[in-house]
Amino acid sequence: DAGVTQSPTHLIKTRGQQVTLRCSPKSGHDTVSWYQQALGQGPQFIFQYYEEEERQRGNFPDRFSGHQFPNYSSELNVNALLLGDSALYLCASSYGTTSNTGELFFGEGSRLTVL
Amino acid sequence: SQQGEEDPQALSIQEGENATMNCSYKTSINNLQWYRQNSGRGLVHLILIRSNEREKHSGRLRVTLDTSKKSSSLLITASRAADTASYFCATDAAGNTGKLIFGQGTTLQVKP
């Protein structure tokens, strides 16, 4: 049973460029959440996708956008990259959306370095 | 913004000793969860405690929750070198659907 898979694992970009990160949720899961984790910090919620729609969004600018496909996989896009966007980007999957957030299953992350 | 604050930020102990990490949070919650992260890799879920529970056990892990003080603790008993990792508490805030708010984490080093 495949867990959450993310690609690429590492990438280097320059300021002003655009990046797309990809995530496949755990089998049987239909909800994907994205988190940004700066070095030495805890993960911060970017947004969540369910039924191909953005359901919740954290305090991130519009440069951060996403998409969910019919097979539940998801992409995170970041435009006009800044040095401060350098971080580990984590994808987490779960089943459904309820008033209580249960256990999240995380991928290994995509480490983005912006030069 | 970070909801949780964890204490201590770093902890170093010998194998066999117990490790205790504390987490404080600010708002009412549905549940509180603890996750583990090895060397900047993905997070692994350890345990979830609901707002109406006070204590929960899972193997060598014991979690307590005090909603009146808005705090939680994670106890790892008989620690092993393999327990070396960063540990994060995460809250599911009441009224919020689908997102967890993480603390800044405690880095635990267990020396063999």
User: Is the minimum CB–CB distance between A43 and chain B shorter than 8 Å?
Assistant: yes
Q: Quick check: B54 pLDDT over 90? A: yes
Residues 75 to 104 of A: which have CB under 8 A from any B CB?
A: 88, 90, 92, 94, 97-104
Q: What percent of chain B has pLDDT over 90?
A: 83
| pLDDT range class, residue A102, cuts 50, 70, 90 | confident
User: Is the minimum CB–CB distance between A58 and chain B shorter than 8 Å?
Assistant: yes
Inter-chain CB proximity B4 and A42 less than 8 Å? yes
Residues in A closer than 8 angstroms to B1, CB to CB, are: 59
User: Is the minimum CB–CB distance between A7 and chain B shorter than 8 Å?
Assistant: no
CA A20 to the chain's CA centroid: 10
Q: Quick check: B1 pLDDT over 60? A: no
Hey, what are A88's tokens?
A: 């580990």
| pLDDT range class, residue B5, cuts 50, 70, 90 | confident
Q: Quick check: A99 pLDDT over 80? A: no
- Of the partner residues A4, A48, A107, the one whose CB lies closest to the CB of residue B98: A48
Phi, psi of A85 (to 5 degrees): -85, -5
User: CA A43 → CA A102, B2, B52, B68, distances in Å?
Assistant: 16, 9, 26, 26
Over residues B58-87, the pLDDT tens digits come to 999 999 999 999 999 999 999 999 999 999
C-alpha B36/C-alpha A32 separation (Å) is: 20
By CA distance, what is B91's nearest residue in A?
A101
Query: B53 exposed, middle or buried (CB, 10 Å; 0-12, 13-18, 19+)?
Result: middle
Q: Write out the H or E segment, with its range, that includes residue A11.
A: strand A10-13
Residues in B closer than 8 angstroms to A102, CB to CB, are: 31, 48
Q: How far apart are the first and last CA of chain B?
A: 36
Average per-residue pLDDT in chain B? 93
Q: Quick check: B2 pLDDT over 90? A: no
